[in-house]
Chain A
Amino acid sequence: MNRASFTDLLFKCIVIAVASAVIILSAIYFYFLITGSALTLQDGFSFVLTSTWNTISNVYGVYPELWGSLVTSAIALCIGVPISIGVAVFLSEISTGAIRSAFSFLVEMLAAVPSVVYGLWGLFVFSPFLDAYIYPSIERYVGYLPLFSCPANFSPCSFAPVSVLTAGIILAIMIIPIVSAISRDALLAVPSSQREAAYALGATKSEAINMSVMSYARSGIIAAIFLGFARAFGETMAVVMLIGNAFVVSSSLFGPGYTLASLIANEFSEASSPANLSALIEAGLVLLAVSFTASFLGRFMIRRFIRGREASSYA
């Protein structure tokens, strides 16, 4: 082997070794979170079905937190997904030129706002606004539903600045950029023959979108929802500041709650025993497993169904 091809080989080996960082990193996440939580992992599924978090008797379960994470993510998706799809349709089907690029930029900027700033703004501006103007009317008209009942039993109902619903609404705003960007990419990847076929049948623009564009882009939009869920499920700072951090499963969305991510953020620095630390790492493992799965499925569907340009990779 001559010198030049040796240099080539050496360079290739170095590049491969460094590039393996991404693969190794993924493996490290699972390996160390599993080994780090060995103490509590041996109890199996009772961890996600128990509602006790007792650092003295060392009984740990994250049922309320898992529930809280799922409920806040569900609220975020219920509010955020229709808005995101509307945004995606506007950006890909309706607007053109300068309007399209200006609004694309503005929506993308929502993703650039740090999550702790969402928390700050939510706590001091948005939550007081909701408590004063929005929640009282929700409670008045649909308060007979347990979901929207008053958290405390007195009248007139007073709303705390922190609640599951407030956290969910902030999360809805936070997932709009990623869900709308990926849905937009899915819509833009629809070949124009699909639209033309619908127009040829006499469809109006909205009928063409509903009939042929949406059905073609459906998998991409579902992928976007998966990624939005992963984002909402693992979001920490905005939620820890807005959800109230109470170890309860409250029936009302106006009440406080807890999520896996905010549990980790609050409790980690006070971990008092190996079992406590192991339980917190296991909470991280649950968070990792759920969001990794959602992110994996979302990315897989994008790979599979959105051809052509790569979907925007900002998270």
Chain B
Amino acid sequence: MRPRRFIYDRLYFAFTFAAVAIAVVPLVAILGDVAYKGFAAINVDFFTKLPPPPCFLGSKCAPGGMGDAIQGTLLLVAQSSAIGIPIGIVSGIYVTQYGERNWYGSSIRFLGDVLAGIPSIVTGVLVYELVVIPLHGYSVIAGSVALGSIMIPIVSNTSAEALSAVPNSLREASHALGVRNWRIALLMVRVAKRSIATACLLAIARITGETAPLLLSAGISELWYAGQGHPIASLTYYIFYYATSPYNNWKTLAWGSALILIVIVMGINLAVRVATRTKKFYS
């Protein structure tokens, strides 16, 4: 082996390793900064109180927290999951149980992938036109519809993937026993329930961090939940709103909200990772 080729080989490896380092450094930096700056904002008030008024230099700062935003985020995620998860799973059942080999099933799968790639703010525009304008204002229901429709293609495709990982022998055995198609479909869901649950959790983690569609659907409010027809606060909207404000106490709360958000999202991802590693779904 000539030395130059050998050196080139080493340089090539060094480049790929450097690329990985460049990719991982921002992650570590973001997590570190959010943990460090966010921790300063976390106390009991943060979870129980409404947002404080802006604090000017030299004036006395009123205590306050992000209680309404935490409430709003939990409510929006719960309601949009109630829309997105059932539709997504049923769509996944269709794709694997009936549409495995026909054009309709494969176009649902394909469009699901394509839809997952369109910007979430476009969903916001659509919901603004279809829900916000008819209801004359931002509302909890609009926010749930926006996040729910982002969830549908994600859950549909990941649960289809989970269902098609069920060994075909199970399906064939059921057919051989004369089990009806619809019962087989539900049986497959039961067999794959762990990985479907994983898929749903990841979709929940994904929409918990969504901000752009909420700007045009749920809006923002500085009060507790007041009904489905009223706007509602969310952690993500508040991060945007407070980070771009000139007040220091608001900026601190933005970091605190980012910490809570990261803990939720990363917590789900880590839990899913650990759960899928320790136990095989089908053995």
Contact = CB atoms under 8 A, between A and B. Distances in A.
Given A22-B111, A119-B243, 14 more contacts: A15-B185, A16-B104, A22-B108, A29-B118, A83-B23, A230-B119, A236-B119, A261-B121, A264-B121, A264-B124, A281-B125, A284-B126, A292-B114, A315-B116
Dominant SS at the B interface? Answer: helix
A12 B181 contact: yes
Nearest to A263: B121
Contacts of B17: 90, 94
B134 to A, nearest CB: 12
Dominant SS at the A interface? Answer: helix
Contact of A269 (B5, B27, B215, B251): B215
B216 interface: yes
Interface residues of B, number: 94
A7 B236 contact: no
Contact of A33 (B20, B116, B126, B258): B126
Contact of A237 (B149, B156, B211, B262): B211
A23 B23 contact: no
A162 to B, nearest CB: 10
Interface of A: 4, 7-8, 11-12, 14-16, 18-23, 25-26, 28-29, 32-33, 36, 82-87, 89-91, 94, 103, 105-110, 112-121, 123-126, 173, 176, 180, 204-207, 209, 227, 230-231, 233-237, 240-241, 261, 264-265, 268-269, 280-281, 284, 287-288, 291-292, 294-296, 298-300, 302-303, 310, 313-315
Contacts of A205: 9, 12-13
B168 to A, nearest CB: 17
A204 B87 contact: no
B215 A265 contact: yes
* Most chain A beta-carbon contacts within 10 A, residue among B27, B125, B262: B125
Interface string B23-39: 11011011001100100
A19 B240 contact: no
Given A11-B182, A107-B20, A116-B209, A284 B121 contact: yes
B104 to A, nearest CB: 8
A258 to B, nearest CB: 14
